[in-house]
A and B are shown apart, each in its own frame.
Chain A
Amino acid sequence: MEVKAELVGSVWKITSKPGDQVAEDDVLMILESMKMEIPVTAPKPGRVKEIRVKETDVVKEGQVLVVLE
């Protein structure tokens, strides 16, 4: 399952790593946009398979950030 950016912004802090078990609503990373910290959360429980961005990357709306399985 792909977790996408809900708006344009930059990656401020990545708080999960591949292999992590996550529950629904767990914070995977925090984006920054319009001076706001925007948590990216897991829509469903799962395991982090891949993180496709690194801190300070600029991301577009709809861009895949994390892949869960």
Chain B
Amino acid sequence: MADEYKSRVTDLHARRKKNLGMGGAQRIAKQHEKGKLTVRERIDLLFDKGTFVELGLLAEQQPIRGIEPSPDGSPADGVVTGHGEIDGRQVWVIAYDFTVMAGSMGAVGEQFKAARVRELALRYRKPIVWLLDSAGARIQEASGSTFAGTGWLFYDQVVMSGVIPQVAAMLGPCAAGTAYIPGLADFVPMVKETSSMSLGGARLVKAATGEDVTDHDMGGSQVHCYESGVGDNEVDDDAACIASVRRFLSYLPSNNSEPPPRMPSDDPPDRLVDGLEKIVPSNPRAAYDVKRVIKSVFDQDSWFEVKPTWAKNIVIGFARAGGHPVGVVANQPMSKGGILDSDSADKAARFIRMCDAFNVPLVYLMDVPGFLVGSQVEKEGIIRHGAKMLYATSEATVPKITVIMRKAYGAGYYVMCGKGYGPDVVVAWPFAEISVMGPEGAVNIIFNKQIEASSNPEETRSSKPAPKRSIARGASTATSRYETRRQPPGHTPGGALPPPGDLPLANAPRSNEFARIESARQPSLLRP
């Protein structure tokens, strides 16, 4: 009896050891040659030391419909699953192992392991991270009637969306249907050169349409982080990618019923921000880099930009104010003059909705000449894209702070959380101009007849006044002094900070009607 027990334990240890060895030394060397880390090295980087708890290590491919499993076995069935801690908070992981059958999604790994992690992450309301390095579905196990029953993966992601944070880290290929994992995730960092995603891999594309293209050319970070906007941040290597995942999660709560974590900050909240007047030119036409404003206003080193290389005319990302995470939406005059277009509206709308879902207050830094006009943008459907941003800003019930740095023109003023969109406070800097359009355009229209009739149109035009009276009429609730301190009006500079729950930022009053509508929007967590 004792011998039998011992032999079983020995066998268990041997199987564990084999599966911890992933696809074997040769395939691991190949993985390293490509500049990639192994799945277990990645997990070590992702979690706080010694906190990873693995589920399903002993999983192996099973015979399906008479097809014998691979004689080498498929350690952990090509996917490592479990949970660990990031900065002391629990996070769940589904990490594909490219050294085992090219990280393909097999029946055991997908239906038993990954599905279980999704279920548990949602049950415990903890964030979920995918480390993607996978050739896609293991076709021999997924074709035929099996396929019809699948699809829970994306259904689950949609149910989880806005309830727990979801991160899809692109560390290798991610072909075919799995490309919807990043499509549905909240944050998608992509490793330069080695990662790619596309709805059809290169071979499938060749067979289906005849197009000759590589996975990298079709779906590398140079496409998705610059042109399509599916990828968020392009990073240099696996380590940088995983560091960005940890950083991203540090701004978000574990789920939608918790406040975002507050970090201690030794940057004084009443610090005088010097030189803003040198960054933002008084000439309303001149360009400048709004990121310099963001970096000087928020807590030192707290700025984490999302999608920095796509639709650069709007800047989005997280920062901290007095240690409290905020989502920043800022016009970028450096790119396209900060004019809003289809992609920038789309980019901002999605970010605003994510911040709203996870209780992250929004700060709008406004300097917008309006939406781009003309035949090109109408063909793109700029009205449809602009409407997404109107919708997102209107429906956001987190605290919203609007800072009008310079221009606030046209519908750009609306989508950047103008007075009508429920901001908790609107602050205007001394050069702020709020109007349906710029003074020159307005003068041309209002005094059209006089200008046309004039013998000297230029002189008539320049003699007309451009009214700047919005503050007097209550369009903005406060004007900051020329010297700019970081604290919002009403705060006692240098006073002790209240505990996170008592922060005025986190507890802006909402009418009962809003609360009722908002609670009715909570997605049902029960499967049909």
Chain B stretch 140-156: residues in CB contact (< 8 A) with chain A: none
B412 to chain A, nearest CB (A): 10
Give Cα A37–Cα B438 distance, bound, in whole angstroms: 14
Closest to B340 in A: A34
Closest to A62 in B: B376
A61 within 8 A of B: yes
Interface range for A = 10 to 19
A37 touches which of B335, B337, B372 (Cβ 8 Å): B337
A39 within 8 A of B: yes
A35 within 8 A of B: yes
B82 within 8 A of A: no
Instruction: Scan B359-394; emit 1 where CB is below 8 A from any A CB, else 0.
Output: 000000000011011101000000000000000000
Q: Which residues of B contact A6 (CB under 8 A)?
A: 335-336
Closest to A8 in B: B374
Q: Is the CB of B333 within 8 A of A36?
A: yes
Q: Contacts A34-B373, A35-B369, A36-B369: A7 and B339 contacting too (C-beta < 8 A)? A: yes
Q: Which residues of B contact A61 (CB under 8 A)?
A: 376
Q: Which residues of B contact A60 (CB under 8 A)?
A: 376
Give Cα A22–Cα B212 distance, bound, in whole angstroms: 37
Give Cα A27–Cα B480 distance, bound, in whole angstroms: 33
Q: Which residues of A contact B441 (CB under 8 A)?
A: 35
Q: Which residues of B contact A34 (CB under 8 A)?
A: 337, 339, 369-370, 372-373
Closest to A35 in B: B438
Most buried by B among A8, A33, A35, A39: A35
B341 within 8 A of A: yes
B258 within 8 A of A: no
Q: Which residues of B contact A7 (CB under 8 A)?
A: 336, 339, 341, 372
Q: Is the CB of A37 within 8 A of B287?
A: yes
A65 within 8 A of B: no
A28 within 8 A of B: no
Instruction: Scan A29-42; emit 1 where CB is below 8 A from any B CB, else 0.
Output: 00011111111000
A19 to chain B, nearest CB (A): 26
Q: Which residues of A contact B284 (CB under 8 A)?
A: 35
Q: Is the CB of B287 within 8 A of A39?
A: yes
A36 to chain B, nearest CB (A): 3
Give Cα A33–Cα B336 distance, bound, in whole angstroms: 8
Q: Which residues of B contact A8 (CB under 8 A)?
A: 372, 374, 376
Give Cα A6–Cα B335 distance, bound, in whole angstroms: 9
Q: Which residues of B contact A35 (CB under 8 A)?
A: 284-285, 369, 438, 440-441
Give Cα A38–Cα B372 distance, bound, in whole angstroms: 13
Instruction: Scan B339-351; emit 1 where CB is below 8 A from any A CB, else 0.
Output: 1010000000000
Instruction: Scan A15-58; emit 1 where CB is below 8 A from any B CB, else 0.
Output: 00000000000000000111111110000000000000000000
A40 to chain B, nearest CB (A): 11
Q: Is the CB of B287 within 8 A of A36?
A: yes
A31 to chain B, nearest CB (A): 8
Q: Is the CB of A38 within 8 A of B287?
A: yes
Q: Which residues of A contact B285 (CB under 8 A)?
A: 32, 35-37
B338 within 8 A of A: yes
B286 within 8 A of A: yes
Q: Is the CB of B286 within 8 A of A37?
A: yes
Q: Which residues of A contact B369 (CB under 8 A)?
A: 34-36
A63 to chain B, nearest CB (A): 12
Chain B stretch 169-189: residues in CB contact (< 8 A) with chain A: none
Q: Which residues of A contact B336 (CB under 8 A)?
A: 6-7, 33, 38
Chain B stretch 306-346: residues in CB contact (< 8 A) with chain A: 333-339, 341
Give Cα A39–Cα B286 distance, bound, in whole angstroms: 9
Give Cα A60–Cα B376 distance, bound, in whole angstroms: 9
Chain B stretch 240-295: residues in CB contact (< 8 A) with chain A: 284-287
Nearest first, the 10 closest Cβ-Cβ pairs linking A and B are A36-B337, A38-B337, A34-B369, A37-B285, A35-B438, A34-B339, A36-B369, A7-B336, A8-B374, A39-B287
A–B complex contacts, Cβ < 8 Å, 27 sampled: A6-B335, A6-B336, A7-B336, A7-B341, A7-B372, A8-B376, A32-B285, A33-B336, A33-B337, A33-B339, A33-B372, A34-B337, A34-B339, A34-B370, A35-B285, A35-B369, A35-B441, A36-B333, A36-B337, A36-B338, A36-B339, A37-B287, A37-B337, A38-B336, A39-B287, A39-B334, A61-B376
**Residues of B participating in the A interface, judged by any CB pair closer than 8 Å:** 284-287, 333-339, 341, 369-370, 372-374, 376, 438, 440-441
